[in-house]
Structure 1
Amino acid sequence: MRLIFAGTPATALPSLRALLDSRHEVVAVLTRADAPAGRGRKLTPSPVKALALEAGVPVLTPTTLRDPEVQAQLRALDADAAAVVAYGKLIPAEALAIPTLGWVNLHFSLLPALRGAAPAQRAVLSGATATGMTVFRLDEGLDTGEVITTRERTIGPYETAGELLEAMAEDGASLLLRALDSMADGTATFSVQDHQAATHAAKLSSAEARIDWDHPAQQVSAHIRGMSPHPGAWTEWEGTRMKVLGLEPVPETTGDDHLAPGRLRATKRHLLVGTATDPLAIAQVAPAGKRPMRGADWARGASLAADAAFDSDDQKEQR
């Protein structure tokens, strides 16, 4: 088939690579326009654009697909279908009707669960131990189209949303290709979603990312992992924000098993923090203005006092 590919971030790269290596022909790529990035705010192409140019595939970066001229460009491509992975733009009905077989999207949840912008992150935040991927045909609703195929995926006890999404991006590429192959062969089946069972996965916010150490360990763990790496779960240390980006298994010998919520204890190899129930072991932190580092390394440099704590009562009274 002649395919259009629409995507923007690194999450979409495995799927684009799979399609470029397949029996299908990628005739054009849709992605966002170059955007400022880095400290120098230099205009930088999206990861998908960079790969497309490297592969010699024409790239379109329209501001909107509602533009009649853009729609005329899409028609001229004479595409059989369009594949979408994290494109980031609305595809209106006029554009949806252009490819003969429509547009199909790789979504990182088992629809109708977790429709929306942050399905992998919301799955981890909820404390779920499993999620999955869905390839479905786009319609005008938000992730409401007919399902072509799905695949389940477990969530590890210390897996962050970023790690989960990276793994599903790799695994999902073959799922997307399988769906497109079935469409080309005329063997694809399309199943209507149970809209009554739908849940929503809203975009994460920095304000929402604040850690409440007064919650049980399992809930705090899900929060930290679900917010990592972006926007990054955060707490306060000596009046400034510190991100907590990952956790690791708690060592068997921790001294006193109880730590008050937010209270810190450093060992030679671990940094422990208290919750409403059991302590957690912090694998990675990012102090304000600094790059991520191991929690134990930060603790050594901070020379923690015996009563050191995140969000201590004194700090809370000052806010």
Structure 2
Amino acid sequence: MRVLFAGTPAVAVPALRRLVADGHEVVAALTRDDAPVGRKRVLTPSPVASAATELGLPVLKFNRIDAAAEQAIGETGADVAAIVAYGGLVPPSALAIPPRGWVNLHFSLLPRWRGAAPVQHAVIAGDDVTGAVTFQLEAGLDTGPVYGQLTQEIRPGQTSGELLESLADSGSVLLSQTIAGLEQGKLVAVPQSGEITHAPKLALEDGRVDWAQPALAIRRRINGVTPEPGAWTTWKDARVKLGPLTRQPTAAEIEQLPGHEDLAEAAPGQVVVLGGRKPRAFVGTGSHALELETVQPAGKKMMAASDWARGIGKDEVVFA
């Protein structure tokens, strides 16, 4: 069965490589146009375009699936299209081109977290389990019937970037198995069932920390927006970026720190520095203090919170 692969970012590359490695006849890769990257804004092929070229596959570059793109898709002679984070809508006219339709690999347990940022929203919401599904793409937003799924536990302290990387690898196997099952005529798509939730794309403002929230909610948000769009707060009207909170000291460990009593009285956003030559920076929240792990002040590189705390000395710091 001839397969057209559609995808753009790095998270889609494992699926493309898996389809080729498993012997599927991938006839072309559909991806978005080259985009400016870095400070010099150099036009750079998408990760999928680069991988497809390395694999010796024809590459179709379209930012939107218009009449020209549909003609190119039809000329591939694909029986089915496999799509992973292409980054654009597939209109009904294009959905009808491959005889076996389009199979979407989506990184959630549909119908939970329909939309562009399912992994980020799962981490922010504090879900214990997420996963990936393959489903038949249709005109609605992630509404199509499901072919198969896998589940995965979300570990405490895990960032959305780490979780997405893991799901991209395991999901690539699911997609390959789904394509094989369709070719063998063994799969039947099942309508989605359960609570519907939505996962819209996150904006920069979604990464801003509200220190009045409980510590657990703040930790989930920081980890959920890492690496994109990134967590941040402000100090002296300048933005301070915050790295993920992958570990947090226990209450017993905090009690061993000199001056730990100050943490109990820390107001939301107030920074409390404990320790001597290697200080530790804590921030008050709506419940209990959180320890910062890495910090990026304006105009500087990301650094260990201990180095940042040493640099601020005895300055009073209150994040807003």
Please say whether Structure 1 and Structure 2 have the same fold, judged by a TM-score greater than 0.5.
yes
- Normalised to the residue count of structure 1, the TM-score between the two structures is 0.92
What's the CA shift for 1:127? 1.8
- What's the counterpart of residue 11 of structure 2? 11
Q: Which amino acid aligns with 1:211?
A: V
1:173 equivalent in structure 2: 172
State the alpha-carbon separation in 1 of the partners of residues 301 and 5 from structure 2: 34
Q: Which residue number corresponds to residue 227 of structure 2?
A: 229
SS at match of 2:282: strand
**Residues 125-156 of structure 1: CA deviation (Å, up to 9, x unaligned):** 11222211111010111101110011111111
The superposition leaves residues 203-224 of structure 1 with CA deviations (integer Å, 9 ceiling, x where unpaired) of 1111232111111111111111
Residue 92 of structure 1: aligned partner:
91
Describe the SS at the equivalent of 1:197: coil
Q: Measured at CA, do residues 177 and 296 of structure 1 come closer, stay the same or move farther in structure 2, by a change above 3 Å?
A: same
Shift of 1:185: 1.3
In the alignment, residue 54 of structure 1 is paired with which amino acid? E
**Corresponding residue for residue 262 of structure 1:** 269
**Separation in 1 of the partners of 2:42 and 2:225?**
27
Distance in structure 2 (CA, Å) of the matches to 1:303 and 1:130 = 42
Comparing 232-241 and 268-277, the one that deviates more: 268-277
How far apart are residue 269 of structure 1 and its match? 5.8
Give the secondary-structure state (helix, strand or coil) at the position aligned to 1:243: strand
Aligned position for 2:130: 131
Counterpart of 1:172, as a letter, is: G
1:296 to 306, 312, 315: 306
Q: Kindly state the Cα deviation for residue 304 of structure 1 after the two structures are TM-superposed.
A: 4.3
CA-based RMSD of the aligned residues comes to 1.5
Does the CA contact (< 8 Å) of 1:66 and 1:94 recur in 2?
no
Shift in alpha-carbon separation, 1:184–1:270, aligned structure 2, 3 A: farther
Gapped regions of structure 1 (runs ≥ 5): 312-319
Contact 1:109–1:134 (CA under 8 A) maintained in structure 2: yes
Give how far 1:179 is off. Answer: 1.1
Q: Given that residues 283 and 295 in structure 1 are in contact (C-alpha distance below 8 angstroms), is that contact kept between their aligned partners in structure 2? A: yes
Q: What CA distance in whole angstroms lies between the structure 2 residues aligned with 1:80 and 1:273?
A: 56
Q: Runs of 5+ in structure 2 lacking a partner?
A: none
Distance in 2 (alpha carbons) for counterparts of 1:150 and 1:219: 28
Q: Cα offset for 1:61?
A: 0.7
- 3-state DSSP of counterpart to 1:275: coil
Q: Secondary structure at the match of 1:246?
A: coil
Shift of 1:291: 2.5
Partner of 2:159: 160
1:82 aligns with 2:89: no
Question: Is the contact between residue 3 and residue 26 of structure 1 (CA under 8 Å) also seen in structure 2?
Answer: yes
Match of 1:65 in 2: 65
Cα displacement (A) at 1:279: 1.4
Query: In structure 2, what is the equivalent of residue 238 of structure 1?
Result: 236
TM norm structure 2:
0.92
Percent identity between the two aligned chains: 46
Cα deviation per residue 1:26-57 (whole Å; 9 max; x = unaligned)? 11001010111101011111011011111110
1:150 maps to which residue?
Answer: 149
Aligned partner of 1:283 in structure 2 is 293
- Residues in 1 aligned to 2:184 and 2:301: alpha-carbon distance in whole angstroms: 49
Q: Distance in 1 between matches of 2:128 and 2:41?
A: 39
Deviations 1:34-88 (A, max 9, x none): 1111010111110110111111100001232231x33222122111211111100
CA contact (8 A) 2:279 2:309 kept: no
Give the secondary-structure state (helix, strand or coil) at the position aligned to 2:243.
strand
Contact residue 280 and residue 305 of structure 2 kept, 8 A: yes
30-39 vs 220-229, greater mean Cα deviation = 220-229
2:44 is matched with: 44
1:82-124 deviations in whole A, cap 9, x for unaligned? 1111100111111111112111111111000110111001111
Q: C-alpha distance in 2, partners of 1:168/1:269?
A: 36
Moved more, 225-234 or 7-16: 225-234
* Residue aligning to 2:101: 102
CA distance in 2 between counterparts of 1:19 and 1:302 reads 52
2:284 — aligned with what? 274
Alignment: residue pair count: 308
Determine if contact 2:295/2:303 at 8 Å carries over to the other structure: yes
Distance in 2 separating the partners of 1:182 and 1:105: 14
**What is the CA distance between 1:188 and its match in structure 2?**
1.0
Q: Aligned residue for 1:310?
A: 319
Distance 1:154 1:224 in 2: 19
| 1:21 equivalent in alignment to 2:21 | yes
Aligned partner of 2:206: which letter? E
